[in-house]
Structure 1
């Protein structure tokens, strides 16, 4: 069922906001996205401790992550179009409230059921907020620079993905109450985010929203297919990092230091963020053509690191894959943002994010199942080689698109 289009531009009842006020709201929206993503990735280095305390397997870890993705995706599909119709604020305020409840559930967890409940709350919250916040960044950028909005959105996303595990590892290793302190800090950081979304200007609502299936405008389906495929594979690396890499690091190093595992995950996302900053200004197509080979090389090195038990090689692998991820992510989101028609930015952004989160969740669950049969090291190696091959296939498709005259949209300015 279709919903009637409505303007997705923020408008207050009075005068248009000043450029300075618009700039402040732009950065506040980026902060909100960053903090929400930090919170959803705090549990990453803590799962091993939860395993010891509550007695569950590596497969259960991937299932906890999978249920998060399972609720996040329908939340994305509902909230993106809904915020296009009723306004960003009406969707984002409840989303931040659910994020607070998710952190509370983690802090009070008494058994594995609490962990599943906490992840469900976090998944719904992030799903409801991701599309609207991505669209809001496009709308609130003071100069209408979509390329800059894409950069801030992707850096906030990978910054949250990387900062969450690193922060949780640090607090859990060196501060009291290791399974409470990280989530207490997250609740504090969510307070200004809640104020931010509550003060967003209202959107003029001219139509009624109705649920609809995910749909990509016909004119941008080719761009979405290639960008979505590349993004899926790049985020499969992130899913592996967020679920099983800390255990992989512990296996190779023999150390149970929580900060070490968190730092390994953070290195992937930190390199991604740096790559995005350095890649700013390049065309969307060039970013993806540069990033996919690096993701493939990083994955092959990850597989070899397990075979030779080398932490040094593992570090090289995470850096390489992280750089590749950043280039692919920025290129894909920029292409999709540029091609999305007016009035459908949140809907298209939400659908693109669905693809990325499927990449984060589905392959990681597959690795978890394989690990129960063949062991963690072998499962990671099979995953790495398989995804590397798929990256090269998508790379060939992108090159052939250029040869046939089908261009990916340039980065928007």
Structure 2
């Protein structure tokens, strides 16, 4: 590869990473603003979780359709419309008149993110200048975490100190999407590899077992993230007695910082043990959240829950994405990654509806605590099952009986 070509590939690689950050930041801009929407439109914490889950309800079908579509038609033809849709979702949020607008905006965002997620991860692997797939997986993972953190923080700052708190954050998002649009437009067009048709997700037989284990672990780990992006910002405000949107938006930052740090430390060494350690940390973090919620130690337990849960989440996500990238065949890479991301987003979006139901029945603080305890138990069971299976002795195959007449 010549030097100009290498520079061009490097620029496209980092432009793709930037697009991951901005797209995911945009999907999480509403997190610190939900309390304001509750007061403006008069709805309960259950509706907050349903609005959040509407995003997942649109994202999962989009993932399943756009994963193979990207493999067939090329990355640029999929990603340019996805970025345009992200801007459209931000506009719907900015002009929202009632709760139905929030549902519509989240659905548009879900379609956009679903179309982009698998294709962006696959594009990073293809554009990594030295063909280093583990490095591409690490960059994709860190970019994802950065997007999750940047969106709520920027929205909190602009919502608290800028004009029009329910409009300005979305206008900033649209401005940040403009460079992402041009970065995706600059990707190679690619040739249609094969005809595309809608189909169920297809996991190659040789990697189904590894896929199932990593998908289940990711589902549990991202349940924690869904909780932090939907109810925890309001939970933190109730614990602290404050109404500051910066505090609400920053609640997720220690989680993401711990996740990113753990991924950086584990980079190049991620394996099954990393996944198990990660889930153990997620269980410990959720346990801290479950026993908090009252008394002077609440914020300290909240910080411990955030750091432990974030570190565990990062280990699980990196281990899973590394193994999926390593095992996925070239011709269906985006399809397999998209299927893995289905588990990720289902974990982030569906279980948290249960937390919303609990909050509506027994109050936000108690609802979050009970939900955290139940999820921690599931994570602990996953770890115990893995450890028991790992300790089970593996008996060598019995030698076959000698064939008569042969020495």
Task: Tell me whether the two structures share a fold, i.e. TM-score over 0.5.
Answer: yes
Q: 1:350 to 1:404 in 2, by over 3 A?
A: farther
Q: 1:206 to 1:276 in 2, by over 3 A?
A: closer
RMSD, matched Cα:
1.6
1:159 maps to 2:138: no
Q: 1:226·1:398 contact (CA, 8 Å) conserved in 2?
A: no
1:374 maps to 2:366: no
Q: Residues 245-284 of structure 1: matches in 2 within 5 Å?
A: 245-284=232-271
Q: 1:342 to 1:403 in 2, by over 3 A?
A: farther
The equivalent position to 1:41 in structure 2, one of 19, 22, 28, is 28
1:177 maps to 2:164: yes
Q: 1:147·1:334 contact (CA, 8 Å) conserved in 2?
A: yes
Q: 2:71·2:193 contact (CA, 8 Å) conserved in 1?
A: no
- Report the 3-state secondary structure (helix = DSSP H, G, I; strand = E; otherwise coil) of the residue aligned with 1:205: coil
Q: Residues 81-160 of structure 1: matches in 2 within 5 Å?
A: 81-160=68-147
Q: Which has the larger radius of gyration?
A: 2
Q: Residues 165-244 of structure 1: matches in 2 within 5 Å?
A: 165-244=152-231
The equivalent position to 2:316 in structure 1, one of 307, 328, 335, is 328
Which residue does 1:12 correspond to in 2?
A: none
1:388 maps to 2:376: yes
1:55 maps to 2:42: yes
Q: 2:68·2:334 contact (CA, 8 Å) conserved in 1?
A: yes
**1:65-87 CA-partner distances (Å, limit 9, x unpaired):** 11111000000000010000010
TM-score by length of 1: 0.92
Q: 1:210 to 1:405 in 2, by over 3 A?
A: farther
Q: 2:289·2:372 contact (CA, 8 Å) conserved in 1?
A: yes
**1:83-137 CA-partner distances (Å, limit 9, x unpaired):** 0001011111111110000111111111111111111111100010001001101
**Could you list the runs of 5+ residues in structure 2 that have no partner in the other structure?**
395-407
Q: 1:294·1:321 contact (CA, 8 Å) conserved in 2?
A: yes
2:3, 2:111 → 1: CA distance? 32
Q: 1:92·1:129 contact (CA, 8 Å) conserved in 2?
A: yes
**Could you list the runs of 5+ residues in structure 1 that have no partner in the other structure?**
1-14, 407-413
TM-score by length of 2: 0.93
- Report the 3-state secondary structure (helix = DSSP H, G, I; strand = E; otherwise coil) of the residue aligned with 2:197: coil
1:398, 1:339 → 2: CA distance? 21
Q: How many residue pairs align between the two structures?
A: 392
1:17, 1:91 → 2: CA distance? 26
Displaced runs of 4+ in structure 1, greater than 2 A? 396-406
- Report the 3-state secondary structure (helix = DSSP H, G, I; strand = E; otherwise coil) of the residue aligned with 2:293: helix
Q: For structure 1, which segment, 308-317 or 341-350, has the greater mean C-alpha deviation from structure 2 after superposition?
A: 308-317
1:388 CA displacement: 1.1
1:226, 1:243 → 2: CA distance? 26
- Report the 3-state secondary structure (helix = DSSP H, G, I; strand = E; otherwise coil) of the residue aligned with 1:256: coil
1:169, 1:51 → 2: CA distance? 16
2:384, 2:203 → 1: CA distance? 23
1:370, 1:305 → 2: CA distance? 16
- Report the 3-state secondary structure (helix = DSSP H, G, I; strand = E; otherwise coil) of the residue aligned with 2:331: coil
**1:254-287 CA-partner distances (Å, limit 9, x unpaired):** 1111111111122211211111111111132232
Q: 2:18·2:143 contact (CA, 8 Å) conserved in 1?
A: yes
